Amino acid sequence: MIYQQLFPEKASQMDFQIVDRTQFPAEVLRFNQAGQGWPDVVFAEPELVAETIDSQHDFPLDLKSVLSAEVLGNFEPHANDACTFAGRLLCLRLDTAPMVLYYNKPLMDKFGYHIPTTWQEYLALGERTGSEYPGYIIGSFGDAWAFKAYFDASGCPSSRILNEKSVQINFRDTRCVRAAKLVDALLANGTLAPYGYFDSHFIQIALADKILMLVAPSWMALASFGGKPDSQYYNTADHQLGVAAPLRWEGDSRVMTSAMGGGAWVVSKHTQNLQLALDFITWMVSAPEFWNISPDYPVYMPVQPVWEKTVSANPLFANDPFPIMQAASQAISPLNTLPNYDVMGVLNDFVGRALGQQKTFESLLPDLQTAMTAQAQAAGYEVTIDSK
């Protein structure tokens, strides 16, 4: 690892382990029962961190009390919102992974299409694509992340946090219904592929150069489109990948976008190596040596010029992606901050059921209301349907 190479005097003190981080909350309970074994530092998404903050887990250290104001002040505004629980900073964001609109510039030019700026224009372009160029797709919808990409951007109150133990869940809201109608229409005409980003069927669509547009997170530009021989989507780089701003719903006052991931560093309350843990996580978010090679959009502002220079020179891109991703990071919906229950599991089950039974998402929204409400109440939340 780069850190160990740069700081050999610390290498012997560090043991890095790659694990299934979805098991992080369950593993904390196991360590608590044993009274030992806690890792000093964990890398996980904030929604997983949220599952370890209750009295039963009680794992994360409040970083506000141990990191300098200078370090904390160098993050983008709101970058650490999803890591903040009841005023405590329980993780430190590496990146925010905002959703943007990718497009294939050569195909868009060939078809004579214009890049949409609203969801209504996106729907119209999808309908046109399905009629004029069947087999080409403008998006993916196969799992919970896709649900959030479309429904969070619409402002659908799927699990909107009101306070520490109260959420708004209302899938009858018009903002949920309009997103469901859009998704149903594009699935029906074949321009929204019913697969996740990494499903083998979807990768075949990508390799066949059939992706016209894709709503996807910032890190997918380099991690999946790539433009290298071993990349999942594009095996060459010839300025073919355009990056456009997140879409807005006509009539809405502002753009909102979701995010997929956006990892964060957590320090354990149990650490016996506090200073080393803090040195390490600070280096990870702020080191130019790391951000020269990372596919992730950084939210620690002093290193943003390093990443911007790298991506702007990459022959994969048809335009400079940095200012678009920077603006998208500031447009992430508050719905991306998740409560302390498994929202994503409920959404995954819902999407799988709708696709498997070939039912419309709009028709199944009442079922989703029931399932998500039950999940929230089981975790001790008060559920509100209407909230100003």
Whether the CB-CB separation of 195 and 142 falls below 8 Å is answered with yes
> Which tens digits make up the pLDDT trace of 258-291?
999 889 999 999 999 999 999 999 999 999 999 9
DSSP codes, 286-311: H-HHHHTT--SPB-BGGGHHHHHHHH
Please state the rounded mean pLDDT for residues 96-103: 97
Query: Can you name the CATH fold of 2-96+259-334?
Result: D-Maltodextrin-Binding Protein; domain 2 (3.40.190)
Query: Can you name the CATH fold of 99-258+341-384?
Result: D-Maltodextrin-Binding Protein; domain 2 (3.40.190)
Identify the weakest region by mean pLDDT among 8-12, 129-133, 194-198: 8-12
DSSP codes, 139-169: EE-SSHHHHHHHHTTTT--SSEEEETTEEE-
Whether the CB-CB separation of 185 and 126 falls below 8 Å is answered with yes
Whether the CB-CB separation of 83 and 49 falls below 8 Å is answered with yes
Residue 329 vs residues 3, 174, 287, 298, 358: alpha-carbon distances, Å: 27, 25, 20, 10, 34
Name the β-bridge partners of 244: 101
Write a three-state SS string for 11-56. Answer: HCCCCCCCCCHHHHHHHHHHHHHHCCCCCCEEEECHHHHHHHCCCC
What's the pTM value of the predicted model, to 2 decimals?
0.92
* pLDDT value at residue 337: 86
Start-end of CATH 3.40.190.10 domains in the chain: 2-96+259-334, 99-258+341-384
* pLDDT value at residue 13: 78
> Which tens digits make up the pLDDT trace of 217-240?
999 999 999 999 999 999 999 999
Name the token pair of 18. Answer: 């790659």
* pLDDT value at residue 47: 85
Of all residues in the chain, what percent carry a pLDDT higher than 70?
A: 99
Please state the rounded mean pLDDT for residues 169-173: 97
Q: Which residue has the tokens 């219904």?
A: 177
